[in-house]
Structure formats: structure tokens, C-alpha cells
Structure 1
């Protein structure tokens, strides 16, 4: 079907001027954002949610965290009220297939708890079927013991990280081959195990048994027993919600689920038929009629990606592998609104017979039900443009049937992919890292992951690299260190200000605010906004602090705090409460009284110990400024103990009249051990009190590197000392030998009175040149031996 001219985008009208522009996939350009709300205050937003059949991975985090960032900016920076709706896809081809396969495998394992000969026969057939389907270059009926050798021969280029042809760059096809090689390899290993432990065997065979058992027994599933599938979806929806909250993604205002919208979806499909834009087939399916839709003036199909409207691969992917094929489709491009029931699938009643919703219809029906016939924003991953969102758009406008008058969605926002080694992160490619694994291992935190998304454009792809991770860590540390300095001003105020430094910094501050505002108003340009935050921190760090007022410092800090909170970098903290800092830049409240007291005392003790005037009377005066740490309970107890122990140790050193170096060592111990172990560090500064700050990842890394270097130097020193000791011991043993005896070996046959050899072992005279060399060795040994005898004599 040829691409038709696309209709002009209808800009919403409003008397309220737009606050920002946004890249709109409908126009493929930036458009002024104008809400449909006549008062320009409320924004309706529908976002495609998860398909819940497995744990969410970092690719999902890219989508949902980025949408959350945009949502927060629209709400908290541009101050719109948002009604945010997100669906949960709990019925689709992948869910049906995965739920059914898991159900069948569980039944098979229950019937066969031990690995018998019959189980191995089934597993071998499953292995053969998997290899035949997914690795066609390998021999049919390949023996498991030959798998590694033949894989290396036929797929060597792919294993080596190249394209299958050995020349071009590898892509998703090679990623799939690697996945299939890994799966088949695990199965081959399981089949070759000399003894079969059931758990290990099934673990290795699982991914080849799943499709094989499904091919045999799928039709045995009761279509009315939805628990086969909801058991899977309820589990993974709960886990998805946990993951999102752990990433500080706000909950939707409304959540819709396909399984809860059966009647509404049926009604939605029926109305499209009634409007003349869909037709039922004899098998009980219903298809969207693209030709009839486009015959009506003002209706257009594939508005988001018109170049893909004839892409059969994408069309087939959108229809799903489980749909019945029918010759009654009027066009190959027509897509299913309702799929007739098929053995092994869940089914619901409808006027056309038992069946289930098509993939795209669910979002149209649910979004329309909650938000109506016109919606401001629709968001999702960029791979959803075609066919999913294009089909949604067409069928929704066919439902509302207002050709030329109203467009269903005003702004489509699509998030770029997250890639690893050039390949999109995907469940189907099994090249993903789950969110919970990444967080549990410490690869990422909710903040660090969000930062790397902010450092890239929301509509652009993000490639996970070491450089990107370092850039994110660097930005986070830069902001944290700024907050540490501002926190310190609360304890050690700066009393000086000359006005000039304030004025200079305020000029930089205004420039940063303007830069950030213009960036966010220009389609949420967060990379530029992040640089604006870095810029003002750089200006602050460069300012002459002695001439800077705390008022200006705090004003800048409050603005930085507000912005990082708007971006979601500080949990659920309120961006508008006037606070300063983010989580991790302040010590616990219960620690403050005791830690600040210990830090003050330590500063004074160090100062006087270095000056050499630390008298017992002066020490008593220093300690008496703080009340003794009374018995504390609960969270304050360890901090109180550190203060009281430090004070007692100071008194003990004073009573002993210890040298200054002992007092300095005690101060170092307080910093490096006692407080460090409680997660607090005292950062010593020249001509200023120590900065009290939490121990963070940067400090830990620096200490680990320092300790590793110290260990390396210590081991090198110990090695030198050991070699020196061995050398001395060897020399001591050698010294015991008399020079008269040192050459009496089989190498010679005659010696003079001093023990110097005169003839070699064959009776020939020793050459003069050699005699000269031997004489030198003899004299050296004579001296060494005489020293040994002296040492023995004096010892005796």
C-alpha cells in the first residue's frame, strides 16, 4: 500500500501561552506544548506500561525512569496538574506462551521428579528440535557431545564477536544466534552429565524443554482457566512495581489492566465495526479495515512512521505468533482487533465468539475510557511507534469517528533505547540485566542510573559504556561535594562578605538559571540543564569564600536542591520545601551533637599539639566546653560512645604527659577508624575546621586505592627485606668455610699449602689466568672467614 500524504498536525488552541516546546513524534519536530484544558492547567497523559511475564531489565528502566523525569518536569517545573494513566498488559502472546510453557514444564517436572531414561529421551528430542529450528547451520540430529566442536566450526565468526558472514558488523541477528548457542550449549552439557541431579538437569534443559513441551501439549490447556496465566502476571506485576519504586519512579494516578477491561474492549471493537472501519471473519476474529478508514476524508494510517506501513516483518510482529491465519483478511496490512479463540489460549466471550483482545486495542479502549476522546500526551518506548502506536491512533480515531475534527493524541513522546555493545537490551535476546540484579550488585543506584539518563537526550538512544558511567559518577560526586560545603556553612558560618563577590556569583547564578530554563523549555534538554547545574557549582567553587555571604551560598544551594529533586534524584523529597542537599550528604540527626563536639575538640587538640603548647590545663578547658556524653540509648549510643572514649583517651594521654605525636595519632584514629566505621569522615582542611561529612562511595574508593597502594609498597618492602635476610644467611653459611678447604672438590686433584688448586681433575696444571681468578676468590673467602672467627670468638 503506497504511503499517503500525511495530514497537518492540529495545534491545540488556548489563550494561555505555551511554557515549552516538545519533540512530537506525530510531526517529527518540536511543537509548542498547549494542553487541551481551556484553562491551560491540566494535562492528560497515557503511558504504555509493562508486559508482565518476566522481571524488568535496565532497558525498561530507561523507558520508565525517563518518562518519570519528563512527568516530574512538567508537574514540578512547569507546574501543570497531570492525570497520569498507565496500563499493565496482562494478556498477550508472550504472556500466553510463557504462562502456558511454565505451567506445562511444572507439570512435567512434578510427574518426573527423577531423571529417568524416558526423561532423557524427551530432553534429547527437545534438544534436537531446538537446534533444528534455531541453529540451522548445525547438522540434523546433532549429538550433544559434538555440539561444541560443530558450533565452533559453523558459527565461529559469531562466537568471535563478528557478523555471521565474517565481514559486516554484528547486529540483533548475531545476538539471537549467541543466545541460541548458549541455550543449546547448556542443554548439551546437561545431557552429557554422567549422573543426573534433577535440579541441575532441569536447569540446563529448561529453555529447550519449554517450547518442545508446548508443541506437544499446548492444546490441553483449558481456555477458561485463566489462572494458568494470571499466576504469572500477578507475580511479575508486583515485582515490576517493586522495581519502579526502588528506582524512585512515581506510581501512576490510574492503573488499567487488560483482564479487567474485557467488556469495554468488546464494546470498543463493536463500535469500530458499526462505524464501518472493521470487519469480522468467519473464524470469529475482527480486523481493522485500513482501506475503509482511509477512504474517509481526514483519516490517515501510519502517521508516526509512514515509511513502515508496508513493513511485513513489523506487521507480523505486531500481530503475534499465535494468531490464526485467515484468507478472509481484506488486506495483509489489516490488523486484528479481536483474535478468535485458539486451543491453549485464554478466551473471553464476545459477539463474534470466544476470543481475546488484539495487542493494540487494549490501550485504545483503556485510555479512551479513562481520558476520553482527546488526550494531551501518549508516551512509550521508541520501538512502539509502528505498529503499536500507529494502530492505536487509527483505531481510536475510528472509534471516536470525528474525521478532520479532532486528533486523539496531541503529542506522542517516545523514549530512546538503552543499548549494550551496540545491541538493544531485550528479553527476547536475553542480553539484559534485571533492575533488581543491577541494584542488588551495586552496579547502579536509583540516583546513578537516573543521572546517566539525564545526561543523554530523552528521545535518543543511550549506550552503556565505561565513559558514560564515569561521567555520571563524576557529576554525582561534584554535586555531593558542593552540598557537603554548604552543609559545613551551617556549622561554621562565614562571617565575611565584601558584596563584590556576592554580585559576581549572583550574575553567574542568573545565567545558570536562564540556561537551565531555556534547556527544559526546549523539549526537555536535560543534558544542557545538567551542565547549567555544574556551571553554577563551578562558579561557586571558584569564588573567594572569604568575601562571599552565606545568604548567597544558601540561595544557590536551595536552587540546586530544587532542581535535582525535580529530576527525581532525591527520592520523594519535596522540591519546593526550601531544603538543602540530597540524601547521603548529611550525617544522621542523632549523631550530630556528639560528632560535632568530637570534631571541635579534635580541631583544637590538633592545633595546640602541632603548636607544641598543649598543656593539661588547656586540654581540660577544651573538653569542658562539651557536656560529658551521658548514657545514651538507641541510635545515638555509638556516637556518644565515640565522644566519651575520645575524651577519656585524651585525659589518659595528659596524665601520662604523652608527647604531641601521641595526641595527633589519637586524632587520626578518631578520623580514620572510630568515626569512619560509623559512616562519618572528618575532612581536614588548611586554616579551617575539619568538614564533617558522610562516608560516600568516592571516599571508600579513594581509601581502597590508598590501602591497595600501601599494601603493594609493604609487600615490596617485605620482599626486599626477605631477600636481604636470605642473602645474609647465605653469606653467613659461606663464611664458615675455611679458605684452605673451599677448593677441595672433584674439579681439582692437587692443592698447595694454602688450599689453592694446582692441578685439575685430569692432573694437568691449572692455567695461570685461572689461578689468578681463584686467588682473588680465596682472598675474599679468607677475609670473610676471619671475620666469622672473630665474631664467634667474641660471642664465646
Structure 2
């Protein structure tokens, strides 16, 4: 990353006498890769803080990118480099978005409850409320619409002002005089919301309340909140905690599915409000903050005047009014602070907002102070690592730094204090070049994504591992294909390795110059390359290509001993486990091979293995060219499996019994080889496929037995693609045959017409004895050129008709 400006003052490089790995981390404080040196003198313990989510809605793929990336860094520090990592995360912050969303949800739920049965009809009162809500929504968000529109005028007014197709509306707000537009990426969502409401507010009255709400919820939420928010008791926190607890629980459920480790310490802001008050008071006492009627403000001018740097992460943005306003939320327009760059440490609560007692009156913490206090509670005056999304660098993290260092400074004349040594900021996830965001409504939730065939918890993590944690990523077809290809490569390698592990292992040592030594040399190189990549600021993209490269080396080497294969597989297994790609991975098990999802169910094994062995024998005999029906029948009789009353085993028992019976019948009937092979294909492609199991034939590899494996996403997709291609070919063939048949039919019908009669139409008025026209409909002679063409077509018809007569 290129530096955008000088760092002031120079970063204070930590020192330690401990032996440390040569790990360099890209540090947002210095905008370069710095050697990682923990604060702990022993070099073993690492303090790591991450900003938690703002839990007012379900987490989206952008959250997945952020928290999976942080989890990957945490796992590498802990499981690869061997540090003792204490990971702390905050939760349930008292954010303006949460306060507003909680109130909105509360008032909407109350409104719906008051209206009665959701399956009941839409009343005039409900429609009138929705009409007023639409008017308020339009006035706030759709400034090109006239203010006094009637309900039935909204649709045409939206078309005129913003275009008829909401999906094609430019992401900009038009200026009335037609001059250059200012960017407003939320406009598309506002137009969509308004159109949905207009559809039912002005539409037919045959909807029930539930269906009506589906269209108008987004306009009712802000309207009801604005109307009733002053009614709330500011000391009743349950309205807000109900929302945050719900979505915090859902967030950690999502993180659990993505195999993101739970924090070692999770702190809720509501648990540390007294500590926040004390923290703010000390900053005031140190001379870096002052109180007004709106709350308490951090004085960036006094802080800098005392020799402390402000906006160390993004000094070029310290005067950016838009970012400053975004950081202040509801207090962005206040006139009580001394400078626009000063930011809130404590906010006087307004009606409808939660409030706690403080020396400055009833209020609530500012956004930035929350993290400072929670992190300081666990780590004190300094920590090693602080993580968050790249959008938090300014003002959030810059303000965290300033107020924390102001707190720990020994008064206004005190020396500089470095509160965080390494800031790591994860890049955004984008769609069509735009950051994924709840406020933009351009997001897919993690839950929605994991219901789609292209995403699993593992593929999502693989996707993020293929790029740098500090860089943005854009979801594209190419990235999804690249992810699927990598996963398939590893799946196949692990399946082969497990197959080897089940076989009798040779203990012969590899000798220099043989295939084993070549592969072991490749393993040592991969270890060196991977270590260099992880030391280079956790370069997981290189790690992923290194793993794939080693597996590809194995795929092209023949005659490798089983022990060599397992040596490779165990190392690869360890690395993918460190990267969090196996929720069931156990780093303590040094003999573990592969990741979860490669084995068929235990209930299936006693029956699928015998069925597969019998199939292998039948296929071998059927393809040999010399059918030995007696041997086939004996093999079927010799195939056995334990009896089981376990209900989960019954589908597999049935498959085995059916296959045995069908093999014996075909052998008894001395069926041709093609029927035996078709039966074997049916076992693979239908009977076991439908139970989630696949038999992978390996004839082309010289293997006589099929590999037994569970169905995975790549197999399902590949089969679907093959079926689509086959269906397309069949359709094209059928259309071609139908077209040919139609042409043949038309030709037969044409052949029935006599060449003598073919031209006797209204187009002509006279003909010769052979039926050739001599004059057109106006009585004029047919021209020579015209007659030549008529004669040519007449001769073709004569031949066609005479052949028809012969066939009759």
C-alpha cells in the first residue's frame, strides 16, 4: 500500500530480548510492514482487540469478510507462530443506529398489535397512517418530488423525476437545474421503498394486513419513531437490549457456522458505563476535554498543542467534514463545541434515547469512547494489536487513539503514550464496485448466502483466504470458480490420502532420486515458501497457491510409497486446520488426514463398502470380454454385511440387498455385458447418489476399485453441468429432427402438386399446353427472364411430382 502522508510522530518500535519469529505485519499506524514484537518481555503473550459488530440486523457477507479475516490472523498467531493470544471483542455498543432501530421496531410492533389480526383487512386508519408515512419518507429522501403530492400522483411523479426503471436509476441525486450530480448511493433503495409503498397505498384494497405491511414497513418505521419517540422512558434499557441481544446471538451463530473462534473476552458497553464516566472525567482533568449542554467534548486542539499527534492513521482526513459528521451521529450539527474537529466523549441524552447518570447530567457514551474503555479495562495503557474494518480508521480509531493516549498521559505536559502498537484494518467486500453495507441495502446476509449452492462455510473462508486480509475483495463469477477449483483439488487429494491410509502401509524409506524423494523435496520447499508467506503479513494468497502447487506435484508423480503420501497429507491437513478450514480439526492429532466431510456416514459403511466391492468385481468381469456368470453369481452370494435394526442404516441395507439380487438375476439370465455395466452405473448414479454417496471409478488411473466418497458441491455442480449440456444437445437434436421432418412433410405435400397445374393461379391469365404461364394477370406477355425462372422451377416440380406418382 502506498503511503498517503507522513506519520506523526514516528512509530515507537517495540523492543524485546525474546527470540521471535521473523513476522512482519502491515501496520496502519506506519502504513508499512513492521517487525512484530509483543509488549510482553517474554515474547509469548499477545494482546489483541477487535471492534465488534453493530447488532441491529443480520450480519452480511461484508461482516463475514471482516471477522473471518481477523480470525485467520488470530489463528495464525496462535497456532502457527505459537503466541498466547488474548482476544477481546466489544459487544452491544450504544450506537445511534441501534437506538433508532430499536425504537422503530418497538413502535412498529406496537402499531401492528393495535391493529389486530394480521390476516384481517386493511382498514382506512392503517392506510391513512401509511399515506402520511409515505409523504414524510418522500420529503426526507426523494427531494425531486413535489411536497404536496396526492397518493395517486406518486407513481407518475417518481417516473418523471427518477426514471421508470428503478434498477437503472443512476446512483446520484439530480440537481434541479440539471448541473452535475452529487453522489447518493442510497437513492436506488429509497426509490424502491417508495414504489413498493405506492403500490399498496394507492392500489386495490384486497390485501390483508400482513401483506400490506410487507410493502410499507420501511416507511412506517421512521414515521412511527418520529411520532412517538418522546414517550419512551430513558431509564428503560430493555427496548434497546432486546434488539441487540437478538442480533448479537444471531451474529455469533453465523460466526460459529463460519468457524470463527469465540472471543476470549466479550465485553458489553452497558456493563462498563461507570468506568466510561470515570475515563471521561480523567480526560477532562488532564486538560483534554470540556463539558457543554450537549455533553463532553474531546479537545483535539489542546491535545495537539500539548505535543500529542491527532489523526495518526489518516491525517489527510482530519478536516473531512463528512467523515467528522458521520462519527458524531446525532450531534453532528451541534453549536456547543468549540471546534468542528472536536468529538463527543459523552452525549446528553435526548427524548427517546437511553440515559445514565453522570456529573454532566443524564446521558450516554460517545461512540469512540466505548472501545477505549473496554480495551483498556482488559489491557491497560497499551496493547499489541487492534483490528477492525478499513472504514473505521478515521474517525473511530483515530479518536480512540487520541482519547486513550490523553487518558494515560500525565496531564497536559505529559509525554506521548502509544496505546496501540499495530493496527490491522481489513479490506471491504464489494459488489459491482460498491462496498457492501446495511445502510445501502446492497447486501446478502450470511444466512442467505449459506443457503445457496455456491457457498458453504468452508468455501466462504477459502474465498477470503485467496486475497490479502488488508485488501478489498469483490464477489465475482471468476472468484467463485477459483474457490471451487481450489476446494476440489484439496478434496481429491485428501480422498486419495484417506484411501492410502486405509491400505496396508509400506515402511520402506524413500531413497534419493526416487519419486518419494522428489515429493519430499517439494514438501520441504512448500514449508519454506509457506513460512515466508505467513511471515510476510499473513500472505494467505501465497499460502493457498503453495498448498495447491504441492498437491499438483503429487498428482503428476507416480509410484509414490504410502508413507510419503501420508507425510504430505498430514502437513497439508495441519495447515488447513490452522487456517480454520476444518471445524472438526484437531491440531493435537498429528496423524489426522484431511478435513471433515470426506467420510460417508458410519451407518452406511458396513453396507456401502460390500456393495462397492461387488460392483468392482462385476465391472471387471463385464469389461474383460469373457463373461464368467458362475463367478459373478458366487461373488454376489459371498457378499455379506451385518444385520442391523438401526433405522439410519436401513436405506443402505436396502441398496445392498437390491444390488445383490439384481446381479444374481442378470448372471442367472446370462445377460450381456452392457446390462451388467448399466446396473453398476445405476448403483453409482442413482441408488447411492440419492443417498449422498458417490463411487468414483478410477479405471483411467489403473485402479480396479472405485473410491467411495460423500457427495460434495463440486460433484453436484459438475453433474448438473453435464446434464445441462446433454439436455441442450438432446434439445438441439430433437429440434433438428423436427425441422427435418417438417421439411420432409412439406416436400411430400409439394410433390402431390402437378407441374401442369402449379402456375394456374390468379397471378397469370394464360398458359401453354404444359401449364407454363404466357401472360400475367394484366394480360401482358411474360418476360424472357421471368419465363426462364418459371421453366426452371417447373422442371424441378415435374421431376418431384413424377417421383411421387411412381411411389404411389
Query: Aligned partners of 1:30, 1:561: CA distance in 2, in Å?
Result: 29
Structure 1 Cα separation of the partners of residues 146 and 376 of structure 2: 52
Alpha-carbon distance in structure 2 between the residues aligned to 1:47 and 1:657: 71
Counterparts in 2 of 1:698 and 1:5: CA distance versus 1, 3 Å: closer
* Partners of 2:92 and 2:248 within 8 A in 1: no
Structure 2 CA distance, aligned partners of 1:98 and 1:763? Answer: 84
Q: In structure 1, what is the equivalent of residue 315 of structure 2?
A: 306
Q: Which residue of 1 aligns with 2:607?
A: 594
Q: Offset at 1:436?
A: 0.9
Among 676, 688, 693, the alignment partner of 1:680 is: 693
TM-score by length of 1: 0.89
**CA distances 1:196-224 after superposition (whole Å, capped 9, x unpaired):** 63333333222223223333322222212
Q: 2:555 aligns with which of 529, 534, 541?
A: 541
Determine the C-alpha separation between the residues in 2 that align with 1:334 and 1:221. 30
Distance in structure 1 (CA, Å) of the matches to 2:199 and 2:333: 37
Q: Distance in 2 between matches of 1:438 and 1:261?
A: 35
Aligned mate of 1:714, from 730, 734, 739:
730
Q: Give SS of 2:623's match.
A: helix
Residues 632 and 640, structure 1, Cα contact 8 Å, conserved in 2: no
Is this contact kept in 1: 2:289–2:299, CA < 8 A? yes
The answer to whether the 8 Å contact 2:755/2:794 transfers is no
The 8 Å contact of residues 610 and 641 in structure 2, kept in 1 or not, is answered as no
**Pairing 1:563–2:603 present:** no
Q: Name 1:182's counterpart in structure 2.
A: 192
| SS at 1:23 equivalent | strand
Partner of 1:791: none
Count of matched residue pairs: 779
1:554 maps to 2:566: yes
The Cα shift of 1:62 comes to 1.1
Q: Report what 1:630 is aligned to.
A: 643
Over 3 Å counting, the alpha-carbon distance change for 1:667 and 1:243 in structure 2 is: same
Mapping 1:634-713, distance limit 5 Å: 634-684=647-697, 685-686=699-700, 687-689=702-704, 690-713=706-729
Taking the aligned partners of 1:130 and 1:520, their CA distance within structure 2 comes to: 50
Structure-to-structure mapping, 1:603-622, within 5 angstroms: 603-622=616-635
Q: Point out where structure 2 has 5 or more consecutive residues left out of the alignment.
A: none
Aligned to 1:292: 302
> For the residues of structure 2 that align with 1:289 and 1:780, how far apart are their CA atoms?
101
Structure-to-structure mapping, 1:87-486, within 5 angstroms? 87-112=90-115, 115-156=122-163, 160=168, 162=170, 164=172, 173-195=183-205, 197=207, 198-281=209-292, 283=293, 285-297=295-307, 299-321=308-330, 325-327=334-336, 329-402=337-410, 403-404=414-415, 406-486=417-497
CA contact (8 A) 1:93 1:322 kept: no
Shift of 1:417: 0.9
Q: Secondary structure of the residue that 1:540 maps to in structure 2? A: helix
| More moved, 511-520 vs 622-631 | 622-631
Tell me what 2:75 maps to: 72
Q: Deviations over 1:491-547 (max 9, x none)?
A: 45686977511111111111111111011011111111111111111111121x22x
Q: Which residue of 2 aligns with 1:574?
A: 586
- The answer (yes or no) to whether the contact 1:562–1:576 under 8 Å persists in 2 is no
What CA distance in whole angstroms lies between the structure 2 residues aligned with 1:234 and 1:784?
A: 85
Distance 1:38 1:268 in 2: 28
Change (3 A) 1:628 1:254: closer
Aligned mates of 2:656, 2:138 — CA distance in 1: 68
Shift of 1:438: 1.1
Matched, 1:523 2:532: no
CA contact (8 A) 1:605 1:614 kept: no
d(CA) in 1 for partners of 2:447, 2:213 = 24
CA distance 1:259–1:635, change in 2 (3 Å): same
Name the CA distance, whole Å, in 1 between partners of 2:381 and 2:167.
51
Separation of aligned partners in 2, 1:200 and 1:224: 35
Q: For the Cα contact (< 8 Å) 2:122–2:205, is it kept in 1?
A: no
Structure 2 SS opposite 1:369: helix
CA pair 558-652 structure 1, distance change in 2 beyond 3 A: same
SS at match of 2:603: helix
